[in-house]
Structure 1
């Protein structure tokens, strides 16, 4: 019994140390956001995989130089690299975990900066400012073309709709002209009585337009919704989407608005904000991970294995484009939540929480938001 005591004590100490390490890692990961450690883990695994593939190719190049027949089958190379990663030792696994934790702690500090970078805030260096100015001019021209297309579609739809409206029994030529003045702009006839003016104002002329033109007009409107005023155009698509919603809030700095009023928001809006902001952070960070992985692969494989370099760049480009589009889609939802938060804060400030409790303001505001949201779903 006495001889076995040192062995038992050593095993207990080893188990305690292992549990302490796992608890430490768990506590660190709990304090770090998903949008921070998931990109860090993806970057670590991708870099490890790229290096393993490079090692496999380097080993086969060595065998080929020694005169041994070697097949450079891409499937076999990838399988060998994945097999080496799967057969990693315990020490290597611990090292990878610690690498992920360290990279996460570093990248979490730059999560907000990744969004700012993709928005188009690229610094004050003159060459970069020229590029940003050129990109903003491009998007400004895109917006102008969309506005012109919207006007053309409106005119075409009105030309088709006015004949159907004129066929209505309650409509006169003067009323059709008045409605056309509202649609296209211009002066309306002053010969209408109050009842006719009310009928013209309540008429939804789009119901009389052809469905194809209505569909095309809606598509142009959706595209224009991604742009702020022409004076506030940003160099990137993501920047334009977020800037448009920031302008709609009516506040100068949206970040201060959320920080200042977050504790006043209803719990459902708080969770929606955290969820959508987390997704936006995640997609922006993963975009940078995809770009970084493509650059690392291009440097690792270089011209010696050109096919692997080309394939890596293509895969990284497709992944980066997909992640960027996902970030833009998340920015639309996140931006709408910012506008909703601004409306809630204004309503709360106007009532000053003096005559109505914050919970009651939150319930009445959420009821309004559900009426504005498609299918009556809360955000």
Structure 2
């Protein structure tokens, strides 16, 4: 690659001497020289040809001297590396030049061997700077892309490459969360576009902040639906616990979000949440064209079915036994054995509860009623009826009572 060098000097014989001295490098395409007679002409040349790599400038020139030119060059966004030429012994000007950002200097009368060595050294420095800037720009682009998916700390580690091939596709155990908003299509059709944009940005942004607070990974955002992963790409031994706590925090935030927008006249639907754990194929499936870190497999299909089961059950959070059993000190109540769409085997599901709700008398009553239901005890009907009588706002208790009154038995149920 040819390096373009601008020589700024008002002495008439300098151009000829430079062209003669560097004729081999010019012929071989190593150097390409341009010439200017003073600082003003140099600035015009730089404006016309911003790709100039290096400026070699005398100090004493008419109209604009070398020190003023140097100051102008340092003020520009693209600071050109500059070598100053000064009379031998003029240390005052040389010191001023170095303080103003000159990379190096040579003295007059010019020793062209010294000038060649100085030029080559400066060009190596320029190349190193360009490579550093290129790496920095690539790292910034990577960080910007990764920050869409990962918490800030993890995104920085991945961008720096310290996690090795953590984003390459591979099978690993994960906990997955899938969320969706009820009735979102009607919201899209009835809310003004600018209001809808603000609302959706606030919703997705708030949900993402909660996920990142628990060091989860946002694998997909499709409109109002969000897929979240734990234990990917990095190891999180407590991933099941993190997923359940994150789901509960999302639920609390989403309910507060609904209430805020209801006061503005917008009926934003409830956020339904599914949580499951198991093996999945995770990694960046975008290759070099775009970054798409996500997960595939039965685990992600199941978590989406669990999210949808909330509509059938009347709940907002539905978690599988796999994730509940793996979590530390899980607090919740059994939902039943769900035969989800596309599956033949039932999956035990639970509704996680906050500590205060789990300790409440109503939860103990529900647990007793569910045990009767599971045992096939006819006393399950009055047990659930009594519970609904005391807590009419308990959708899950009401769901089981309706099933029993319609002739259903046991805790196994088909969820379409």
TM-score class, shorter: under 0.3
Bigger CA radius of gyration: 2
Higher relative contact order (CA 8 A, sep 6+): 1
Which of the pair is proportionally richer in strand? 2
